Structure 1
Amino acid sequence: MKFKRILIGIIGSAIACGVFAASEWKFITLNSGFAFSIDTNSITNVSEYNYRQNKQFWVKQLVVQDLERDGLGVGDYKMVLSWINCSANTLGVKAITDYKKQKDGTIKHESALLANYQVAMNPIIPESVGQSFVRHVCP
């Protein structure tokens, strides 16, 4: 009986670790002053009704060169929950939020810029950042 409880505990722990795996960021490319990285542990199939062909994943857009007057400076970043349809070669954004460096060196969540109920899927432009996502997210 005790062995069975230990075994169930080990299996439960293994499942929990798999479900709540820490972020693992993979650098993708540099473009327009941003370094783009994908959290490879966040790549999952979208289970929402009518979206089963899409995969979702988190993208970190780290400002490495301040080229725009968008309120973000070097070291600040955006977190973008993206959807990709590998067979249709389309990409959409589910949510975006900004994180800014504070004077004390900490990073603070600044704003939720976008949170879409329905995701507008747009064609992926060849040789773009979106095409780089396809190479890393799609099988």
Structure 2
Amino acid sequence: MIPYHDYVMLIQQWEVPQPELGKVFPGTYKPNKFDRNPNFFTINGKAFPYNTPLYFKYGEKIRLRFITKTSTSHSMHLHGHVFRIVSVDGFPRPGCWDDTVHIASGKRIEVELIANNPGIWPLNGTKTFHQSNNGKVPGGMITKVIYVNE
């Protein structure tokens, strides 16, 4: 069955100059290209709460394509649902059902699920600091899954 929705989730981390941990100062900054000490974490280039939610309709088949563009691995957790891994870097891979997937640096993992638990659910990185903007929570690698009627 072809998925009704197919979402690409580009996972990124940035080392952005900020004066002190726990503070976020507005402005435009040039990230350190080596991100040795990342302090901002994004999905599709945007940190929570400024990113776009995913919209599910009850009963539809969903595919999520997680791609890491970071120097480290990340685990992504979808609350209230289970999914199965269907491919790694484009190669089919039979997978078991789970609610968290570990994505190594530079990898692409595709998972599929059936939208069967209406409500508003977080989809987030599992490391607490990755759910922040320079240590300020909530932020970072979090987005929402929102069920819609139509």
TM range (shorter): under 0.3
| Structure having the larger proportion of residues in helix | 1
TM-score normalised per structure 2: 0.23
Could you say which structure has the larger radius of gyration?
1
Query: What's the TM-score once normalised by structure 1's chain length?
Result: 0.24
